[in-house]
Amino acid sequence: KLDRPFADVTMGHRGYLRGVAGVSRKVGEGVTLLTAVERLNNNGPWSVPEGIRKTNAQFILSGGSPREGWSTSLSAYSARWNSTDQIPQRLIDAGSYQGQPFGRFDSLDPSDGGNTHRTSLSGNWHQASDHELTKIEWYAIKYDLNLFSNFTYSLDRANDQFAQTDDRSVWGGKANRSWLTDLSDGRSMQNTLGVHLRQDRMRVGLYDTLARKIQSTVRDDDVQQTLIGIYGENGMGWSSWLRTVTGLRVDQFNAKVTSHSQPQNSGNAAASKVSPKFSVIVGPWQKTEFFINAGNGFHSNDARGTTAKVDPKTGLPIDSVPGLVSSRGQEIGVKSQIVP
């Protein structure tokens, strides 16, 4: 919710123009609609204009109270640009390239750049009492990206530009419930249980290109990917100066890859991980507390790598990668509030 409507326009040299505006208004009993839009144009100092054209729009409908409330959000984003990629220092030092003057604002491949669009619909609901809190969040996203890059210019062929494409739909959500228990001896305990789900369906590709025109296909795949996790956490106040937090998360990853360029790289993959965590917090004394944290985490790999059998460039056999990769971390620290 905005305190008052606003609008702002900023203009600058080299094609800079930004406009942003927002307004909130009541559309029903206890229901508010927030609307905000942004437009940005910019060319920058480059000899090939950066040509940024970005549009943002956000619409949020919300209602309720801190005790029980909800919101639904619709957002849209669109952008296109020309890349101001790296150039060799030796060309800047030489001051010329192929008989033409060359400086630090010039480009070796003026067709580098890209465009992207993203539309999302999301919502959340919460309900709270003195000892309980329930939250539910959900989302649906439509996204596409076309990115043209050239890092080496003429190492592999006359022009090394390549394109990465991504056209995907995503949906998912999460829900959790927390409750506080007052124990008979004056201690308190908080427990949380939750679940998380995400589903991706995408068409992703990698191509050799010249001036944004496809010359050959490196990879072209349909991918379906699902990640679901359940987790629990216990926070215990043992005394006025000692607290612990114990958590456990279990995740399951499933992927199906259909390769249109190398059928032998098609397949199914699955992986699961169990990730515990534990924290000890001592204090506070004089607004200072000490803590020890330890736990496991993970990251997910590109689903295409989990079913890969041959290199898409050479056709030689390669090893696939796991869908989920574990990580482990520990930290010891101190936290103090110096400023009131």
pLDDT band with cut points at 50, 70 and 90 for residue 186:
confident
Distance CA 220, CA 68 (A): 46
Number of other residues whose CB lies within 10 A of the CB of residue 227: 19
Sign of CA dihedral 182, 183, 187, 192: negative
Residues 6+ apart with CB under 8 A from 76: 55, 56, 57, 117, 118, 119, 120
The predicted structure's pLDDT at residue 321: 96
> Is the pLDDT at 17 greater than 90, yes or no?
yes
Distance CA 215, CA 209 (A): 5
The predicted structure's pLDDT at residue 184: 77
Distance CA 174, CA 281 (A): 28
Write down the domain spans for the chain.
6-336
The predicted structure's pLDDT at residue 285: 87
Distance CA 279, CA 326 (A): 19
Residues 6+ apart with CB under 8 A from 128: 66, 67, 68, 134
Query: Percent of the chain, pLDDT > 70?
Result: 99
H helices present in 208-249, as ranges: none
Over residues 239-263, the mean pLDDT reads 96
Q: pTM to 2 decimals?
A: 0.89
> Is the pLDDT at 292 greater than 90, yes or no?
yes
Over residues 268-292, the mean pLDDT reads 95
Side chain identity at residue 92, one-letter code: I
Distance CA 208, CA 215 (A): 5
For residue range 79-94, what is the model confidence (pLDDT) as tens digits?
Answer: 999 998 888 899 899 9
Residue pair 222/257 in contact (Cβ under 8 Å)? The answer is yes
Q: Is the peptide bond before 284 cis (omega within 30 degrees of 0)?
A: yes
The predicted structure's pLDDT at residue 296: 97
Number of other residues whose CB lies within 10 A of the CB of residue 319: 7
What class does CATH assign to 6-336? Answer: mainly beta
Over residues 295-324, the mean pLDDT reads 95
Sign of CA dihedral 235, 276, 123, 117: positive
Q: Is residue 14 left, alpha or beta, with left meaning phi > 0 and alpha meaning psi from -120 to 50?
A: left
The predicted structure's pLDDT at residue 10: 98
Mapped onto helix, strand or coil, the DSSP state of residue 14 is coil
Cα→Cα distances 87→90, 150, 210, 268, Å:
9, 10, 18, 41
pLDDT band with cut points at 50, 70 and 90 for residue 300:
very high
The predicted structure's pLDDT at residue 332: 97
* Closest C-alpha among 109, 103, 74 to residue 91: 103
The predicted structure's pLDDT at residue 159: 81
The predicted structure's pLDDT at residue 286: 84
Within 13 Å of residue 275, how many CA atoms lie on the same side as its CB? 20
Strand extents, DSSP E, the chain? 6-11, 17-28, 31-42, 52-64, 68-82, 96-97, 100-101, 113-128, 132-149, 162-182, 188-210, 213-237, 242-259, 267-285, 288-300, 324-336
For residue range 105-149, what is the model confidence (pLDDT) as tens digits?
Answer: 999 999 999 999 999 999 999 999 989 999 999 999 999 999 999
Residues in the chain: 340
